[in-house]
Amino acid sequence: MKSQDTPEKVLTGGQSKVLALLAGGATIEAAASASKVNPATVHAWLKKEPFVGAYKAATSAVIEHATNQLKSATGEAVSTLRAVASDIEAPASSRVSAARTILELAYRAVEIDELAARIEALEALSL
């Protein structure tokens, strides 16, 4: 698929409908049925360009959208964990669980930052 081509320009109407349904989470069978296409045809499309490229682009867009939603909710999630961890009236198990989660995630974030710095330094050496 050329970069200026949209899936609608390259795919048939039936393929575009199946693609939208699959990207929305439908099974192959459900997408085929809703589009009045044989499931075997959809399986065949999933093995050939330009459908494969359009499918990958659509699923990437769905994942990117979900990731952006998760990112936008992180502040609220951290605030909730902090509130539970510091709420002396909350059950001890809830406070410990929230505190453990904060510590584990903070530790992972530090590890990731350190690994990213090491990778960056190694990449700089190879230039």
My answer on whether 37 and 4 are in the same domain is yes
Name residues whose C-beta falls within 8 Å of residue 59's C-beta, 6 or more positions apart in sequence.
22, 23
pTM (whole model) above 0.75: no
> What pLDDT score does 8 carry?
52
* Residue 90 CB neighbours (<10 A): 15
With 60 as the cut, is the pLDDT of residue 3 above it? no
Residue type, 69: Q
Q: Is residue 112 part of a domain?
A: yes
Name residues whose C-beta falls within 8 Å of residue 26's C-beta, 6 or more positions apart in sequence.
34
> Tokens 């959208």 label which residue?
65
CB 66 within 8 A of CB 59: no
* Residue 59 CB neighbours (<10 A): 14
> Which residue segment(s) compose the domain that 120 sits in?
87-127
My answer on whether 58 and 19 are in the same domain is yes
Q: Per residue in 40-88, pLDDT tens? A: 999 999 999 999 999 999 999 999 999 999 999 999 999 999 999 999 9
Q: Domain count of the chain?
A: 2
Q: Is residue 77 part of a domain?
A: no
> What pLDDT score does 10 carry?
84
As a whole number of angstroms, the distance between CA 19 and CA 6 comes to: 13
